[in-house]
Amino acid sequence: MIDFIRENMAPILFGGLVLFLLIGYPAAFSLAAVGLFGGLAAIELGLIGPQFLGNLTYQLYGVLSNELLLAIPFFTLMGVILEKSGMAEDLLEGFGQLFGGVRGGLSYAVIIVGAILGAITGTVAASVIAMGLISLPVMMRYGYNIRHATGVIAASGTITQLIPPSLVLIVLADQLQRSPGEMYIGATGASIVQVLLFMGWVFVLSIIRPQDVPALPPEARTLRGWALWKVIIRGTVPSLALIFIVLGTILLGLVTPTEAGAMGVVGALLLAWMNGRLTWAVTWGGMLSTMRLTAMVVFILLGARVFTLVFQGVGGGHWIEELLSNLPGGVVGFLIFVNIFVFILAFFLDFFEIAFIVIPLLAPVAESMGINLVWFGVMICANMQTSFMHPPFGFALFYLRGIVPRDKVKTTDIYMGAIPWLVLQLILVGLLIAFPQLVTYFLDTPVDVDLDTIHIVLPSTGGAETLPGFTAPPPPSFG
């Protein structure tokens, strides 16, 4: 029995972690507990030495000293402040009036505004709550199918996960040891395709079920001409300015994501102040939400480092590599397995837990198989979008359930409305596997140099046939 445990310590640790998570024990403490007890057991079994756990000090210090993770509280605070700033109202009003004359116009407006908010805030909760409070009553008033309305609002909020400067991309960049700028550039093509898929579904629905997405009646389109464009400009100009401050400066290499997040917070505070929405209650609520999310992320990451250290020490990395490298189908089989695995985990875990627990185990295998880790990270990010849309555990559905009237919107309507958009997210994952150029095209391609074509030409020495020689004095004699 002891020999069996010694030879299978890695799968036993992984199985123990899954068991704790299924029971419902907090992920951070599950990771730390399984890691510590597993480490003590491994020492007793002779798999690792007591001094091996001394590395834990350096691992935990590395987490707490990682400046990249400072971007998480900045982007969270910025998203919460922008939720209260009134910018979402201006955007939805302007684009709703602009597209209101066509079938599905309000849905197009929600998708576009969701993408804009995603490029500013980087947080799903702010987008879903803002659009749910503003657009859902209007969509219900003008006869939109309630399942479609709730689905498009929740899905448009989850675009935030894929559109830079997403928090998920920052976390994945840290776990994959790639720069956030590379992840942002790679995710650009994928996020554009996601928006087009969502808008394409609305277009199809407007043809096959026009009664579900009616156009606004003429009396509802009160803004025309300059008055309409004034509202659109009032919403889009501050948005574009914030997008440049947050995203443009990162892509241009002017600032780090942490510095861009800090500038974004200042911009969000100024915007809320200009709209008369900056109050102490808003600021305090934003800081409280930021503190809770940041504490959760840090504790999960600390626990993950404890578990990963012990897991790698008992040979878990080799066990995972042998398990996944020998799958039928080679690279394609590996990618299919990984996506199914992440999709199932998303029913039970949120994206932070998946990123901190699963990605460190999968990344070495992917790299050993020659997979571009930026593309791999964007594909996983697209898959992890589904964690917000999974009935019945999707957080976007929880956010929506918390703000919609229970007497008018049933929980089953929210769940059923999410299914078509969940399928569209999975279609995006398939497209990224079939066409990796959607990610890699935007990345810098390495410059190939043919060494046989290189000629080294020395400068002329004034007609001399040989280079001048240099003589050194003889070494001193020490007797």
CA nearest neighbour of 379 among 247, 125, 186, 124:
186
Mean pLDDT computed over 163-188 = 85
Q: What is the pLDDT of residue 5?
A: 81
26: cis peptide before it, omega within 30°?
A: no
Looking at the predicted structure, is the pLDDT value of residue 361 above 80? yes
The answer, yes or no, to whether residue 183 has pLDDT greater than 70, is: yes
Return the pLDDT at 220. Answer: 63
* pTM confidence score: 0.77
Q: What is the pLDDT, as a whole number, of residue 196?
A: 93
pLDDT at residue 467 greater than cutoff 50: no
Among the listed residues 2, 77, 76, 72, the one whose alpha carbon sits nearest the alpha carbon of residue 42: 2
Report d(CA 301, CA 308) in Å as an integer.
Answer: 10
Confidence band, pLDDT 50/70/90 cuts, at residue 447 = very low
329 dihedral zone (left: phi>0; alpha: psi -120 to 50; beta): left
Q: Using one digit for the tens of pLDDT, what is the confidence trace for 294-319?
A: 888 888 888 888 888 888 888 887 78
Q: Which of 76, 89, 153, 155 is nearest to 122 (CA)?
A: 76
Residues 86, 228, 163, 413: what is their CA dihedral angle, to the nearest 10 degrees?
Answer: 80
Predicted confidence (pLDDT) at residue 122 exceeds the cutoff of 90: no
Write down the residue that tokens 């400068």 correspond to. 459
